[in-house]
Amino acid sequence: NLIKEGDFIRQEKSNLDRLIIGERIRSLRENQGYKREDFADMAGISNTFLVDIENGSKGMSMYTLARIA
């Protein structure tokens, strides 16, 4: 299967968006003095999932984003 150029660009933008969001979440969490484990518990997600979000390797639903916010 050939990947269309537009599909590739959208995928790369999506990856960049996840990375930026993850970095912002990490920065805000650290600035507020929360340990990752405590923050994950408060948001109702696993510590592993929070690590993946902060590293930009996984995205999240709007529901999860709202709980983190």
The closest alpha carbon to 50, from 33, 29, 31, belongs to 29
Provide the token pair at 7.
């599909």
CA-nearest of 28, 29, 17, 24 to 57 is 17
What does the pLDDT read at residue 1?
Answer: 46
The tokens describing 16, both together, are: 């960049």
User: For position 12, what pLDDT does the model report?
Assistant: 77
3-state helix, strand, coil in the chain (%, to 5): 75, 0, 25
In tens, the pLDDT along 1-58 reads 455 666 766 777 788 899 999 999 999 999 999 999 999 999 999 999 999 999 999 9
pLDDT score at 4: 65
- Length in residues, the chain: 69
